Chain A
Amino acid sequence: MKSMIKSVALATIVVAAPLTLATTASAEGEKYVLVSHAPDSDSWWNTVKNGIALAGEQMGVEVEYRNPPTGDIADMARIIDQAAASGPNGIITTLADYDVLQGPIENAVASGVDVIIMNTGTPEQAREVGALMYVGQPEYDAGLAAGMRAKGDGVTSFLCVNHAIQQPTVGERCRGFADGLGVDLGDSMLDSGTDPSEIKNKVLAYLSANPETDGILTLGPVSADPTIAALEENGMAGDIYFGTFDLGEEIVKGIKSGVIQWGIDQQPFLQAYLPVVIMTNYHRYGVLPGNNINSGPGFVTADALSKVEEFAGEYR
C-alpha cells in the first residue's frame, strides 16, 4: 500500500513539473489556439510553432499549438472540440478533411469562437464553415504553376514523391504538377512513407526501374531530404530536374549547390503569424481585412537565398 501512495505521489510530481512551467509561460490577454493536422514527426510545422509564438509575444496574447500525435484527422476533430470547450477567443485550424472537421469547426463558431482557416483547405470551404478567412496556398494552383514552369524548362516525365499519401490536399500538388506538365499522373506518384531510409530506397528503386524519368517533385522536407541523398548516391544529383514544395535546411543547401532547381515556399510563418495578428486586432479594435490571404506560392531559386538560408527551418 505504501509503495502505491509513493508512486502516486511521484506521479503527481512528475506530471506537475512541466505543467507549472507551461502555465507560467502564458501571458495576459486574449487566448488563441492553433490546431494542425500534422503528426509529431513532421518537422516542417516547427516554423508554424515559431510563427504563433512570435505573434503571441508581439501582440501580448496567449497562444497554444495542438496537433494529433499520429496525424489521425478524427483525433484532430476531438482536439478542435476540446479547444472550443476551453473557451479561447479564437481558433486557427487547418481543414485537412472537410467532412470530418466541418462539424467541430461549425460548433466552435456557433459557440462564439472565431475561426481562421490556415494552410490546408480552400477559401470556399473556409466560408462554408463560417470562418473569418483563409490564409494559405491554394495547392492545386501551386502545383499547376510549378508544372508549367517545369514544362518550360523541358521536363517531359516526372516522379512525385508523396510522403503524406493519406492527405488528399497534398496529393493535389502532384495532380496540379502533372496537369501543368501536360502529362498523365499515372503511376508517377510514389507513396513513400515517412521513414527517411525507406524514402531514399524507394526513390532509388523507382529511378532505376524508370531511367527515362527527367523530373522529380517532392512535397516537403520529409520527402525532399532523403531524395537529395538518393540522387547523390546514384549520381543523378544536379543532372535530373528537381523541384520541391516547402523549404528546410537541406533543401536550401540543395538549391544553393544546384541539386534543386527551385523550392516553392508557401511561407508557413505567415500562415501562423498573420491569423494571430488579424484576430487580435479584430477582437481589440474590430478591424478585419476584407479578403482571403495567399501566403504562397513563391519560387525560391539560387538567387536571393541569403535571408532564406539564415532562417530556414526557423521562420522560413
Chain B
Amino acid sequence: MSQTAQPKPVADERVKEMSSFRRSLIRPELGGICGTIAVFTFFLLFAHDSGMFNSQGIMNWSTVSAQFMIIAVGACLLMIAGEFDLSVGSMIGFAGMMIAIFSVTLGWPVWMAILISFVLCLAIGALNGFIVIKTGLPSFIVTLATLFILRGFTIYFPQLLENKTIIGGIRDQAEGDWLAPIFGGKILTGFFQWLGDNELIATFERGTRQGDPVVDGIPMLIIWAIVLVIFGHVLLTRTRFGNWIYASGGDAQAARYVGVPVNRVKVLMFMFTAFCACVFATCQVMEFGSAGADRGLLKEFEAIIAVVIGGALLTGGYGSVIGAALGALIFGVVQQGLFFAGVESSLFRVFLGVILLLAVILNTYIRRMITGER
C-alpha cells in the first residue's frame, strides 16, 4: 500500500496512534503469508519423503506456481482498478495459436510471429477496455463475450488452415531465433551442471542425457513471473499511477473529480492483463513446441482465485500484487502437492474450494481490522 511507503509523519492529532507491530501485521498480504506458511507446513509434514522437496519436485511446483503468478499479476492490477477479465484463458489459447499459425503455417520468423501475437493481444485487451468504458457495461459480461469469441477462433483457424486442432513443429521453427529463448529458454544452466557434477542434485541415470542434472536450469517462465511481480508491486506502491489504479477501483467518480484519468487507467490495465496472458502463452508454446485449441481452459478463474486468495477485494480498490503472487504460490503448491501426497486426484477441486473459502473469510477479517469497519 502506498501509505506505508511514505516516511513516517511527525505526530499529528488526526492520525490514530498505532504500534509498529500492528502496522506491520495488518497488510493485504497477511492472509497470503499465513496461507503460504500453513500450506508449506502441511506438505512438509505429509509429503516430505515423496520427492516434493527434491530438486525435481521443487522445480515442478515452482513452474506451476510461476504460471499462475504471470496471469495473477495482470488480473490483480485489473481487479484493483475495479474490473474483471474473463477472457484470460481464451487469450492464452488464442495467442499461442496465433504464434503457431504465423510461424508454422505461414512460415514467418518466430520473433515476428511472437511480436504480432503481442500486438494482437494488446489490441484485443484495449478493445475490451474500450467497450467497457464506452458502454458502461460490467466488464464481467464484456469479457465473457470475448472468452467465447477468442476460444471459437482458436478452434476455427487451425481447423480451417491445417485441418487439425493442435499445431506442432514450433520448436524446430524457433531453432536459432533471437526472441524465442527469452520465453522458452533456461538460464543458469552452467550452475546446475556444476551442482549435478558435484552430486548436490540428482542426475539422469541412463539414456542420452545420462550425467545431466535432472534440473538443468531456471526456465524463463519463472524469471518472467518474478519480473512481472516486481514490476506490478513497484507500479502499484511506488508510483503515482499506482495510486490512480487504487482510486479508479475504489470510487471511479470520486477519482474523476480529483483529476484521475480513470478511463485511461482502466484501458491500460485491460491491456496489461492481455499482455500477461500473452507472456504465459508464448512461454508455453516455446517450451512445448505446439499450440492447442484447448490451452488455457479455465485459467481466467485460476487467476482470479489466486488474486482473491492473495487478499484482493472483488469490488476493486484494495489488494496487493505480492498477495496475488503468494496466492498463486499457494495454488500451485496445493495443486501439485496433492499429487505428491497421493490424494485421490478427483478431490483436487474440493481442496481448492475449501482453500478459497477459508482465504476469503480470513481476508475479510483482516480487512476489517485494517479499515476499522464493523
Contact = CB atoms under 8 A, between A and B. Distances in A.
B169 A99 contact: yes
Contact of B342 (A64, A73, A103, A171): A64
A48 to B, nearest CB: 13
Nearest to B298: A70
Interface residues of B, number: 65
Nearest to B351: A15
A165 B165 CA distance: 7
Interface in A108-157: 109-112, 130
Interface in B25-72: 34, 38, 42, 46, 50-52, 54, 56-57, 59-61, 63-64
Interface string B333-374: 000100111111111110100110010011001100000000
In terms of DSSP, what is the predominant structure of the interface of chain A? Answer: helix
Given A12-B38, A15-B354, A110-B205, A166 B165 contact: yes
Residue with the highest number of chain A CB atoms closer than 10 Å, among B164, B166, B365? B166
Interface stretch (B4-12, B225-233, B282-290, B307-315): B282-290
Contact of A70 (B166, B297, B342, B344): B297
A84 B295 CA distance: 23
A22 B57 contact: no
B344 A111 contact: no
B296 to A, nearest CB: 7
A16 B347 CA distance: 12
Contact of B214 (A69, A107, A171): A107
B240 interface: no
Contact of B292 (A11, A107, A130, A166): A166
Contacts of B205: 110-112
A40 interface: yes
Interface stretch (A1-9, A220-228, A231-239, A276-284): A1-9
A7 B358 contact: yes
B42 to A, nearest CB: 6
Q: Interface residues of A toward B: which range?
A: 35 or more
Nearest to B172: A99
B186 interface: no
B308 to A, nearest CB: 15
Contacts of A40: 346, 349
Nearest to B30: A4
Interface of B: 34, 38, 42, 46, 50-52, 54, 56-57, 59-61, 63-64, 155, 159, 164-166, 168-171, 202, 204-210, 212, 214, 284, 288-290, 292-298, 336, 339-349, 351, 354-355, 358, 361-362, 365-366
Given A4-B365, A112-B204, 11 more contacts: A23-B342, A40-B346, A64-B342, A69-B345, A72-B296, A82-B61, A97-B166, A130-B207, A166-B165, A166-B294, A171-B165
Interface of A: 3-4, 7-8, 10-12, 14-16, 18-19, 22-23, 26, 40, 64-67, 69-74, 77-79, 81-87, 97-100, 103, 106-107, 109-112, 130, 165-168, 171, 191
